[in-house]
Amino acid sequence: MQGSRATSAIATRYVAGETAEQGVGRASELLRDKGLRSSLFYLGEYVDKPGLVEQNLAAKIEVAGLLERAGLDVHVSVDPTQIGFMLDPGWARRNAFAIAEVIAGATAGRAAVHALMLDMEDSSVVDATIGLHDALDDARLPVAVTLQAYLHRTEADLRLLIKRGSRVRLVKGAFAAGADVAFVGLSEIKTNSRRLIDLMLSREARDAGFYPIVATHDERLHAHAIERAQKCGWQPGEYEFEMLLGVRGDLAARLAAGGQRIRLYVPFGRDWWPHAVRRIGENPANAWLLARSLADF
């Protein structure tokens, strides 16, 4: 399917291309044409072959260099299981340090939002991912971490990260998780999202130097966050919203035009089909895209 020209409409919408150059090219266009920043993500998750880990590491390092040369935020999203966590957590840690050191070196002296953004995977890796964030942060490397509003533990994790003055991307959570560890109903998850946004955009968080990143396509949560930010003295640019490339582009453009700082998660790489199908599955209105590509195949 990935090789078929018939699927190119899907690929172009949700994925920036197969190469790091194409990823950075799309990021440059988004900034120039729409004022949207990017976080580049080389596709491929839960990797259990050393060769693929090395390939992922090389792609992350390559894209960091290209972002720097293009004068963009050197902002790279990484799943711990992409860089060896399933094979050897120590190796994954060394790889994360290697990427973060390249980002730190490439960006010294340039004011922008540079980060190795750690994505959050299933609940079995949350402790290790936060531990990795803390180790990178202790080494004063440019790091941020994703927390998931559906997990019961997230409020406690967030409170500690606020005290540290960290950078946290809040998402609802995309993995299967039972009621023992997670809120399972959508309305409960939204309620918890609002509670966590209130903490992220509190006066205490601002005083601690915390940087909130609210990653959602949920307009009500955007409105809630903006209201909370205004109430607690945050200026646009002291926090950001993040959305996925190809999803609610209208909303991203509107928020950016209103002065909000918006970042898009921009995936690239050969392994794009699972990512695109997930995005289509999230919105039944997109099903025609998939049906058309399959009919053409």
Mind telling me the catalytic residues?
119, 169
User: Taking contact as CB under 6 A, which single stretch among the options 15-23, 94-102, 214-222, 253-261 is the one that binds ligand FDA?
Assistant: 214-222
Q: Which stretch binds ligand FDA (CB under 6 A): 83-91, 168-176, 223-231, 269-277?
A: 168-176
Pairing of strands 240-244, 262-268: parallel
Does the footprint of ligand FDA cover residue 123 (CB under 6 A)?
A: no
Give me the residues paired with residue 42 across strands. Answer: 268
Q: In terms of CB distance, is 36 or 110 closer to ligand FDA? A: 36
Which CB atom, from 164 or from 217, has the smaller least distance to ligand FDA? 217
Binding region for ligand FDA (CB under 6 A) out of 86-94, 171-179, 200-208, 267-275:
171-179
Q: Which region, judged by CB under 6 A, interacts with ligand FDA, from 137-145, 222-230, 238-246, 289-297? A: 238-246
By CB under 6 A, residue 173 contacts ligand FDA: yes
- List the interface residues with ligand FDA, window 263-282 (CB under 6 A): 265, 279, 282
Q: Judged by CB under 6 A, does residue 283 bind ligand FDA?
A: yes
195 binds ligand FDA (CB under 6 A): no
* Near ligand FDA by CB under 6 A: residue from 164, 194, 217, 254: 217
Residue 215 near ligand FDA by CB under 6 A: yes
Q: CB nearer to ligand FDA: give 51 or 250.
A: 250
Closer residue to ligand FDA (CB): 93 or 279: 279
For the CB of residue 186, give the shortest distance to ligand FDA in the complex, in Å. Answer: 7
> Does residue 124 bind ligand FDA (CB under 6 A)?
no
Q: Closer to ligand FDA by CB, 8 or 50: give it.
A: 8
Selection from 235, 118, 226 nearest residue 169 by Cα: 118
CB 168 within 8 A of CB 158: yes
**CA 19 – CA 50 distance, rounded (Å):** 21
3 state SS of 192 = helix
CA atoms within 13 A on the CB side of 154: 28
Cβ neighbourhood burial of 140 (10 Å; 0-12, 13-18, 19+): exposed
Q: Where are the alpha helices (DSSP H) in 201-286?
A: 203-207, 219-231, 249-257, 273-281
To the nearest whole angstrom, how small is the minimum distance from the Cβ of residue 131 to ligand FDA? 16
Query: Among 44-52, 88-96, 137-145, 237-245, which window interacts with ligand FDA (CB under 6 A)?
Result: 237-245
Nearer to ligand FDA, 185 or 233 (CB): 185
Rounded CA separation 237/240 (Å): 6
Radius of gyration for the chain, computed over Cα atoms and rounded to the nearest angstrom: 18
**Is 13 buried (19+), middle (13-18) or exposed (0-12) by CB count in 10 A?**
middle
By CB neighbour count within 10 A (0-12 exposed, 13-18 middle, 19+ buried), where does 240 fall?
buried
The size of the interface with ligand FDA (CB under 6 A), counted in residues, is 23
- Taking the C-alpha atoms of residue 278 and residue 105, their distance in angstroms, rounded to an integer, is 35
Query: In which residue are the tokens 């120590």 written?
Result: 90
CA distance linking residue 246 with residue 9, whole number of Å: 11
Q: Which residues bind ligand FDA (CB under 6 A)?
A: 119-120, 146, 148, 171-175, 215-218, 242-244, 247-248, 265, 279, 282-283, 286
